[in-house]
Structure 1
Amino acid sequence: MRHLKEMCHVSKKLVAQQQKLNFPPTKSMIDEKLYGPLLMNSGAKYDHERQREATTHWIMMHERAFSIVEEYGFLFMMKCSNISYEKISWKTLKNDCIVVYEAERKKLKSTLRTVNKIYLTTNL
């Protein structure tokens, strides 16, 4: 280690010559769709439909229980972030998740119609 740190000029030269790849940060579709316009416009008003959609995607992404939206901590957090927040019932959220699931299922089916072969692999 001492040799590499203090004396080995070859390794220092190689490290200095090594190229670094710099990739620009990318925006995901979720960021663009759910957060982009709302965060860009600081004067935006509360949109209950948009909040329902965001909550639905959050529940599905993280596989949370529908009842989490009726818990005191969740309601407290949402009221703190936006005083205009309107409570969403777990039944409404469940129905929203089913609507999103069916829409995504239709998109997947239409995509798979154009595919000739599918290879499934697993890592056990």
Structure 2
Amino acid sequence: MTEESEGGYRKPPKSSRFKPGQSGNKRGRPKGSRNLKTDLNKLMTKRIAVREDGEVRHVTGQEAMLLSLFEKAVRGDFKASTQLFAMLMKLEIQDPAPSAPAVVTENDRAIGADFLRRHSHLKKEED
């Protein structure tokens, strides 16, 4: 064998290697083929009919699954309750609730005014 055509472990002979611009998969991935994520997203957003309180209404697949899980939890299914609480906790961590605005009382205003009165001479000395 010559040095050019010599092969070895993980080194195929030069004559059998892919040429520049040539692929090992001539047909490649077909255009328009979908993956699991797109299929799952399509299923979850698809609207389906659900009977609730004797009336039919249309909801997304995702909402229907959550309603089913909620009904199981209400009926006492411990696993369903655990799953719902886990989802709630995960969402709570990602999107914390806004804190309530602080209420300022008359006592707070009096304390603030007293502080400013006692420290107003410091501001005059700095000027």
TM-score by length of 1: 0.30
TM-score by length of 2: 0.30
Which structure has more helix as a fraction of its residues?
1
Higher RCO (CA < 8 A, seq sep 6+):
1
Structure (1 or 2) with the larger CA radius of gyration = 2
Which structure has more strand as a fraction of its residues?
2
